[in-house]
């Protein structure tokens, strides 16, 4: 029986949509992109208007065959990938593939939320494919391919084989590198802040900060000045010299867009941008909520618009007034203005149904899904609530020609703060005070401090900078950050990004030879040009021609002039064995120090850098004491060792004369192929995992230590060790199986 076919991107969407559409519709998933540029060649004909040579992605061949088969039986085909440029490109490629396999009409539909109302409304108002949106995505893809495929071989030749460059990622890398250089060049200055705790004769005591001395801004620069001032203050008396009381209204922030969601999730939940987008994707596509069935919880999460639909605003009004009362809803509905550079095609990120409270989802969703949904739900409802009425009090006290200040805040009406409580830094709880009132000094504190260098970027501040500078688009921030880490150009140290030596070298070389490409203004301008392509105001081929006019000559010049650093870069320290200069070299496992006197001197060392960037040689570690057997090649002892990224391996004690090495085996046979052993490995970021030794012939892997014990629930040949909430567990590695058992803690 012929059906109408709807093609979405993910299987999760299929399940959600099937719940409220009848048997008239067949719903299939493309699993994302089905065609792309080839992986082994440039795939762009520069002499023919940059014509891309697309091919079906190998992993999608069976999916494509299934779509063709379904399309051949369909009366109408609705292409329903995500409502953005990437989604439009996916739809365009599917249409190109299916047009020779079916006589059905091919139409494009889109929806900002996966609800019965939104999907049915989309089906009632289909449109054709938007060629402008597709060409904007295609222009970005070709631009990134030209940069990546042309600069990366140059870096292979000059720096290290296997590394690469990206058009937007390289500019983001430069921000991190320049911040680190500013930190290294920073010269700290001494200063002495003073605080006085005062008693007004009524509780509470309150703490003031020194702001002026002799009518000028306080600037106590050394201990001598600090002691002189302290003496004067202790000999003097405090009096209230100023008292200002003002009322103001705090207004709520707008609902989330992609960038602010990523920032807040990082600051409040500690989630990376990548994790935030992954969890949000599940909330958008739909989750199994038991009696409710599969339900989509939030609107589309890739947006830079703060606009919300009228029906969502009305729903919020009803919920707010029913829950907190009419006073908690503003006299006029709140409307937020989207930035001029933002795309206003989608709504802000909000709950699909405000009546589905976070607490109602407890036990039905995972902890991270609950946490992110609560963040989005609270922000949306707060954005529609009445402002908070606040009374600010600023008290000024004088003592011996110095001025001290404290600020207090009193909430008169909480408004939106009922949902998102907050207290401004530096606010004190103040007692009743009067002008001219004498105050008693309870405690005088002074402290030697030094000015601090600019802070390193964390995920939230980096996303904020990328947005402010126009580097990439909110939907790309997570992939930008992940790519920089995967390439080992930056590392996350104590939740802040630190560039590696490799990252600094790559950034400096690219900045020197591709100054335009690495310029923030140029990158932001390119994003604006791509927006114009999407709006039909810019020809995508002309855009690429303009880019090539500057890029190709720079590439040719760089090929001639870029210096090679494969031999290493000066480390600024001498070899501990022979005294010759050491060099930083870039090996497969990361940077290390090697003597410039090689091969006469074979000294190598690990190293670190201090706050000023100076190399600190790490002492050579003694050989591991744990003997793991005899070497099959030379008969010497095998030692258990650790790689630079943290995984254990076994190597011959006769190295370098004998180079035998093997991975550390868990002794567990791979449950997928039944042949290889599960061995310990580590990712580029240093995270330990366990995979089949027959990789790439077998790609089975788990993050936790495998144990040879069948799962009593599903029959999996292995379980894995976990430590969660203070408990040692054995759990099933199959995601569909929830089996776990508590076991005694063991190393």
Structure confidence by residue, pLDDT tens digits, 355-382: 999 999 998 999 999 999 999 999 999 9
Least Cα distance to 408 among 207, 251, 241 occurs for 207
Taking residue 460's Cβ as centre, other Cβ atoms within 10 Å add up to: 19
Least Cα distance to 511 among 185, 181, 177 occurs for 177
If you search the block for the tokens 């200069």, which residue do you land on? Answer: 581
Quick one: 744 exposed, middle or buried, by C-beta within 10 A (0-12, 13-18, 19+)?
exposed
The Cα–Cα gap between 180 and 609 comes to 12
The Cα–Cα gap between 730 and 742 comes to 6
The whole-model pTM stands at 0.80
The Cα–Cα gap between 7 and 80 comes to 6
List, for residues 598-652, the tens digit of each pLDDT value: 889 989 888 888 888 899 998 765 544 478 888 888 888 888 887 766 788 888 8
Axis-axis angle for helices 520-534, 169-185 (nearest 10): 150
The Cα–Cα gap between 581 and 725 comes to 50
Asked if 434 contacts 243 with a C-beta cutoff of 8 angstroms, the reply is yes
Asked if 377 contacts 318 with a C-beta cutoff of 8 angstroms, the reply is no
Least Cα distance to 320 among 372, 382, 388, 376 occurs for 382
| Length of the chain (residues) | 747
Considering the chain, what is the average pLDDT of its residues?
Answer: 91
Least Cα distance to 195 among 184, 204, 206, 186 occurs for 206
Low-confidence residues in the chain, pLDDT < 50: 341-344, 623-625, 746-747
Bridge partners of 692, per DSSP, are 678
The Cα–Cα gap between 427 and 414 comes to 17
Taking residue 528's Cβ as centre, other Cβ atoms within 10 Å add up to: 11
pLDDT at 623: 46
| DSSP 8-class letter at 104 | S
Asked if 211 contacts 395 with a C-beta cutoff of 8 angstroms, the reply is no
Asked if 190 contacts 448 with a C-beta cutoff of 8 angstroms, the reply is yes
- Structure tokens given for 267: 């600051």
pLDDT at 725: 57
Asked if 263 contacts 460 with a C-beta cutoff of 8 angstroms, the reply is yes
The Cα–Cα gap between 393 and 430 comes to 8
DSSP string, 25-67: EEEEE--S-SEE--SSS--EETTTTTEE--EE-GGGHHHHHHH
- Active-site residue identified among 50, 284, 300, 639: 300
Axis-axis angle for helices 131-158, 85-98 (nearest 10): 100
Least Cα distance to 198 among 440, 425, 482 occurs for 440
Asked if 523 contacts 168 with a C-beta cutoff of 8 angstroms, the reply is yes
Asked if 495 contacts 534 with a C-beta cutoff of 8 angstroms, the reply is no
Cis peptide preceding 204, ω within 30 of 0: yes
If you search the block for the tokens 């063991």, which residue do you land on? Answer: 746
The Cα–Cα gap between 654 and 660 comes to 9
The Cα–Cα gap between 161 and 586 comes to 10
- Structure tokens given for 358: 């976070």
The Cα–Cα gap between 627 and 102 comes to 66
If you search the block for the tokens 């302290």, which residue do you land on? Answer: 230
The Cα–Cα gap between 536 and 690 comes to 50
The Cα–Cα gap between 305 and 296 comes to 20
The Cα–Cα gap between 420 and 90 comes to 39
Coil/strand/helix, residue 36? strand
Asked if 57 contacts 34 with a C-beta cutoff of 8 angstroms, the reply is yes
- Cα atoms in the 13 Å half-sphere on the side-chain side of 341: 15
Note if 598 is an active site residue: no
- Structure tokens given for 146: 């030209």
The Cα–Cα gap between 74 and 4 comes to 5
The C-alpha angle with vertex 152 and arms to 149 and 156, in degrees rounded to 5, equals 140
Least Cα distance to 668 among 701, 641, 645 occurs for 701
The Cα–Cα gap between 257 and 250 comes to 21
DSSP string, 248-260: EEEPPPPPB-HHH
Quick one: 337 exposed, middle or buried, by C-beta within 10 A (0-12, 13-18, 19+)?
exposed
pLDDT at 624: 43
Contacts of 671 (CB under 8 A, 6+ apart): 700, 716, 717, 718
Distances (CA, A) of 701 to 588, 717, 721: 22, 14, 14
233-242: b (≥16 Cβ within 10 Å) or e = beeeebebee
pLDDT at 427: 78
pLDDT at 475: 86
Coil/strand/helix, residue 169? helix
pLDDT at 746: 44
DSSP string, 309-356: -HHHHHHHHHHHHHHT-GGGS-SS----PPPTTS--SSPPB-BS-TTS
pLDDT at 276: 95
Domains along the chain with CATH numbers? 3-129 (3.40.50.140), 138-186+455-561 (1.10.460.10), 190-251+388-450 (2.70.20.10), 258-383 (1.10.290.10), 569-617 (no CATH), 665-747 (no CATH)
Cis peptide preceding 696, ω within 30 of 0: yes
Quick one: 45 exposed, middle or buried, by C-beta within 10 A (0-12, 13-18, 19+)?
exposed
The Cα–Cα gap between 215 and 203 comes to 30
The C-alpha angle with vertex 80 and arms to 254 and 467, in degrees rounded to 5, equals 35
């Amino acid at each position: 029986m012929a059906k109408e076919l709807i093609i979405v991107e993910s299987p999760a969407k299929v399940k959600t949509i099937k719940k409220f559409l009848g048997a008239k519709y067949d719903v299939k998933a493309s699993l994302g992109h089905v065609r792309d540029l080839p992986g082994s060649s440039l795939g762009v004909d520069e002499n023919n208007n940059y014509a891309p040579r697309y091919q079906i992605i190998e992993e999608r061949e069976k999916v494509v065959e299934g779509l063709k088969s379904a399309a051949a039986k369909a009366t109408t085909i609705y292409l329903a990938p995500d409502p953005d440029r990437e989604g439009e490109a996916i739809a365009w490629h599917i249409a190109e593939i299916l047009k020779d396999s079916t006589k059905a009409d091919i139409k494009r539909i889109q929806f900002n939320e996966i609800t019965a109302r939104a999907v049915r409304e989309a089906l009632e108002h289909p449109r054709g494919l938007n060629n402008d949106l597709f060409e904007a995505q295609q222009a970005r893809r070709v631009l990134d391919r030209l940069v990546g495929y042309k600069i990366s071989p140059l870096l292979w030749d000059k720096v290290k084989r296997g590394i690469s460059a990206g058009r937007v990622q390289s500019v983001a890398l430069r921000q991190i590198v320049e911040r680190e250089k500013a930190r290294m060049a920073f010269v700290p200055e001494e200063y002495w802040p003073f605080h006085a705790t005062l008693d007004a004769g009524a509780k509470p005591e309150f703490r003031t900060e020194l702001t002026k001395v002799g009518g000028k801004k306080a600037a106590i620069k050394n201990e001598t000045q600090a002691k002189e001032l302290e003496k004067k203050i202790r000999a003097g008396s405090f009096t209230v010299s100023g008292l200002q009381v003002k009322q103001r209204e705090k207004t709520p922030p707008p609902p989330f867009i992609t960038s602010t969601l990523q920032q807040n999730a990082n600051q409040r939940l500690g989630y990376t941008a990548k994790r935030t987008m992954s969890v949000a994707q599940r909330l958008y596509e739909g989750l199994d909520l038991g009696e409710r069935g599969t339900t989509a919880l939030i609107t589309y999460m890739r947006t830079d618009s703060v606009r919300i639909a009228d029906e969502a605003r009305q729903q919020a009004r009803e919920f707010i007034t029913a829950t907190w009362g009419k006073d908690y809803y503003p006299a006029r509905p709140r409307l937020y203005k989207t930035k001029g550079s933002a795309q206003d095609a989608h709504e802000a990120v909000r709950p699909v149904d405000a009546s589905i409270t976070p607490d109602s989802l407890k036990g039905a969703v995972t902890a991270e899904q609950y946490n992110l949904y609560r963040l989005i739900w609270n922000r949306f409802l707060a954005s529609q609530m009445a402002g908070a009425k606040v009374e600010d009090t600023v008290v000024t006290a004088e003592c011996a020609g110095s001025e001290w200040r404290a600020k207090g805040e009193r909430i008169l009406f909480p408004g939106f703060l009922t949902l998102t409580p907050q207290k401004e830094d530096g606010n004190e709880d103040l007692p009743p005070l009067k002008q001219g009132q004498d105050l008693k000094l309870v405690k005088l504190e002074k402290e030697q401090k030094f000015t601090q260098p600019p802070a390193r970027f964390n995920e939230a501040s980096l996303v904020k900078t990328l947005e402010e500078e126009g580097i990439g688009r909110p939907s790309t921030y997570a992939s930008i950050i992940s790519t920089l880490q995967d390439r080992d150009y930056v590392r996350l140290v104590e939740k802040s990004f630190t560039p590696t030596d490799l990252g600094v070298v790559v950034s400096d070389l690219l900045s020197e030879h591709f100054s335009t490409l690495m310029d923030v203004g140029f990158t932001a301008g390119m994003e604006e040009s791509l927006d114009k392509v999407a709006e039909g105001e810019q020809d995508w081929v002309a855009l690429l021609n303009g880019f090539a006019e500057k890029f190709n000559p720079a590439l040719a010049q760089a090929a001639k002039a870029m210096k090679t650093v494969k031999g290493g870069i000066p480390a600024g320290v001498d070899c501990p064995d022979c005294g010759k200069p050491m060099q930083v070299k870039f090996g497969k496992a990361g940077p290390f120090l090697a003597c410039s006197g090689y091969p006469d001197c074979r000294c190598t060392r690990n190293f670190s850098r201090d706050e000023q960037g100076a190399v600190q040689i790490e002492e050579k570690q003694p050989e591991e004491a744990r003997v793991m057997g005899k070497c099959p090649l030379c008969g010497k002892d095998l030692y258990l060792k650790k790689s630079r990224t943290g995984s254990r391996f076994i190597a011959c004690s006769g190295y370098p004369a004998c180079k035998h090495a093997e991975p550390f085996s868990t002794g567990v046979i791979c449950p997928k192929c039944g042949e290889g052993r599960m061995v310990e490995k580590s990712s580029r970021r240093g995270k330990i995992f366990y995979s089949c030794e027959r990789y790439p012939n077998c790609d089975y892997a788990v993050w936790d230590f495998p144990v040879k014990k069948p799962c009593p629930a599903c029959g999996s040949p292995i379980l894995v060790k976990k430590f969660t909430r203070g408990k040692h567990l054995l759990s099933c590695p199959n995601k569909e199986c929830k089996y776990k058992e508590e076991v005694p803690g063991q190393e």
